[in-house]
Structure 1
Amino acid sequence: MSNLAKLSGEFIELTSPGPHVLLVELARFWFKYCRVLEDISREPDVRVVVLAFVFPKLFSAGIDCNKKRLSTARIYPRVPERCPFPIIAAIHGVAYELSIDIIAACDIRYAASNAVFSIKEVDVGLAADIGTLARLPKLAGNQSLMHGLAYTTRKFSAQEAKKMGLLSRVVQGGRDKVVKAALDTAKVIAAKSPIVVIGTKMVLQHARDHT
C-alpha cells in the first residue's frame, strides 16, 4: 500500500495495521475526504477500510458551515457506498450531525460505550438531508423514533443506537478499544476472497433498495 502514503496529510492519516486492511483516521470532515476515499477504492491491495477519528473524546461535532464545505459535504455520504470494499466505522465520543450521515453509509458500525449521538442539524438551522434522514429510518425501522430524534435533537447513547439498529456492536471503553475491535473484524474479512466480498456488498446494497 505504499502508493497510499502520499494521501496522508494535515487532516487525515492512513496506515496499514494488517494485510489488505487500511485504517483511515480523520482530524475533521473536510472536502478532500471524498477524493481520498475514491483514490483508495482504486487500490487493488485494499480489501477493508476502518474509519475513525484521531481525537480520543470526539468522533465529530458536526458539519463545517462554511458555504464551500457545506456544498461539498453533500457528496460525503455516497462515498462509502461507492467503495467496492467494506468500510467499518469505529465511533467514539461525540458523534453529532454529519457523523451520522457518514457512518450510516458504512457497511459495519461499531461504537465505544462512551459514544453519544445526536441528529443536531435543527439546532443550527439545517435539515439533516445529507444522508441521515434517508438512511436512518431504514436502519431503525421506526419512523416515529426517527421523527422524534430529528425534531428534538435529543442525545442518545451507544446502547440506544445499537437497540435501534444503527450499530451492530458496542465495545466497552473508548477510542482505542473500538478501533481495535473494528480492526480485528477487518482482518477477518480481509482474509476472505476479495471478489466474493465485493460481490456480496453489491448484492446487499441492491437488495436494500429493491424488491
Structure 2
Amino acid sequence: MTEYKVFGVELAERIARVTIDRADKLNAMNADFWREIVEIFRWADDADEVRVVVLAGAGEHFSAGIDLQLLGEAASQMGPDAGRNAERLRRRILELQASFNAVDECRKPVIAAVQGYCLGGAIDLIAACDMRYCSEDARFSIKEIDMGMVADVGTLQRLPRIIGDGMLRELAYTGRTLDGREAQAIGLANRCYGTLSELQEGVLQVAREIAAKSPLAIRGTKRMIRYMRDHRVDDGLDYVATWNAAMLQSSDLPVAMAAHMSKKKPDFED
C-alpha cells in the first residue's frame, strides 16, 4: 500500500478506509491533500478488490476546510496584470475541482463519516460523496461567505440536489452552522449517531452491506444515479436498457438468484 503524507489508507473486507490524517491541523486541506486525494481515488476506482470507500477524518474533526496557508500562497503569486492573474487563478480553481471530481466519479460508492468540524472545503468534499453520516457533535458550515468569497469546488453545484435549492441558499448566504441532528433533518446526513464510536460502527455496517452485493450491479446503479442528475427520464430509461442488455449477462445474476433461493449469502467475484 502506498504511503501518503496527508492520508491513511487501509483495505479490509473489500472496504477502503481513507482517513485525512492531519489532526493537529484540524485536517485542513493543504497542497499535498489536493494531489493525494486524486491518486487515492484513482486507485480505489481501478482496484477490483475495492467494493466501497469510507472517507473519514482523524482526531476530533473531519476537516476545517482549505488550509489558509494555501490561500496565502495563491495570493502571493499575483502580479500586476489582472488578466494573467485571472487566468492563473481560474486554472488553479479547476485543478482543485478536479480533485473532488475524482471522488464523485469513482465507480465505487463513497461514504463520508463526519465528526466535529466540517467547514468550507470539507462541505465541497462530502457533497461529492454518495452518502454522508455524522455524529451529534458534527458542525457543518458553508464558510466561504464569511471569507468574502464564493464556494467554488462543488458545494453550490452538488448540494441543491442533496438538500434542495432553498436550504442551500440559506446556508450559503448566511454561513450559519448546523449540528448533526439538523444535518440529518435536512437530508445532508443520512443518519446522525450519538457518539463517534457509534458513527464508525454504523458506517462500517453500511459499507459491509454494500461490499457484499454484486460489484457490477453496484457500479451500474451508481452510474445510473449520476447520469440522471443531468438528463431527462426518457434518456435515463434508454441508457439503463442499453447498460443492462450487457450487464444482465453477468454471472452475478444467477449467483444472486441461487443465493436467494437457498437463503445463503452470495459470494461475488471481484
Q: 2:118 aligns to what SS in structure 1?
A: strand
**2:91 paired with 1:92:** no
User: Greater shift after overlay, 146-155 or 193-202?
Assistant: 146-155
What is the aligned partner in structure 2 of residue 45 from structure 1? 49
For residues 12 and 137 of structure 1, the distance between their equivalents in structure 2, rounded to whole angstroms, comes to 29
The answer for unaligned runs of 5 or more in structure 1 is none
Q: CA RMSD in A?
A: 1.8
For residues 40 and 128 of structure 1, the distance between their equivalents in structure 2, rounded to whole angstroms, comes to 27
**2:55 paired with 1:33:** no
- Read off the aligned partner of 1:19 and give its amino acid letter: E
The answer for unaligned runs of 5 or more in structure 2 is 22-26, 78-88, 233-270
What is the aligned partner in structure 1 of residue 210 from structure 2? 189
Asked which structure has the greater RCO (Cα within 8 Å, sep 6+), the reply is 1
For residues 42 and 149 of structure 2, the distance between their equivalents in structure 1, rounded to whole angstroms, comes to 27
Moved over 4 A (4+): none
Q: Which has the higher helix share?
A: 2
Q: Which has the higher strand share?
A: 1
Pairing partner for 1:104 from 119, 124, 127: 127
What is the aligned partner in structure 2 of residue 139 from structure 1? 162
Report deviation, 1:73: 2.2
For residues 107 and 166 of structure 2, the distance between their equivalents in structure 1, rounded to whole angstroms, comes to 33
Report deviation, 1:108: 1.2
**2:153 paired with 1:149:** no
Q: TM-score, normalised by structure 2?
A: 0.71
Report deviation, 1:187: 0.8
For residues 127 and 179 of structure 1, the distance between their equivalents in structure 2, rounded to whole angstroms, comes to 32
- Aligned sequence identity (%): 35
Pairing partner for 2:9 from 14, 18, 21: 14
- Read off the aligned partner of 1:87 and give its amino acid letter: V
**2:82 paired with 1:61:** no
Q: 2:203 aligns to what SS in structure 1?
A: helix
Larger radius of gyration: 2
Q: Is the 8 A contact 1:52 1:179 kept in 2?
A: no
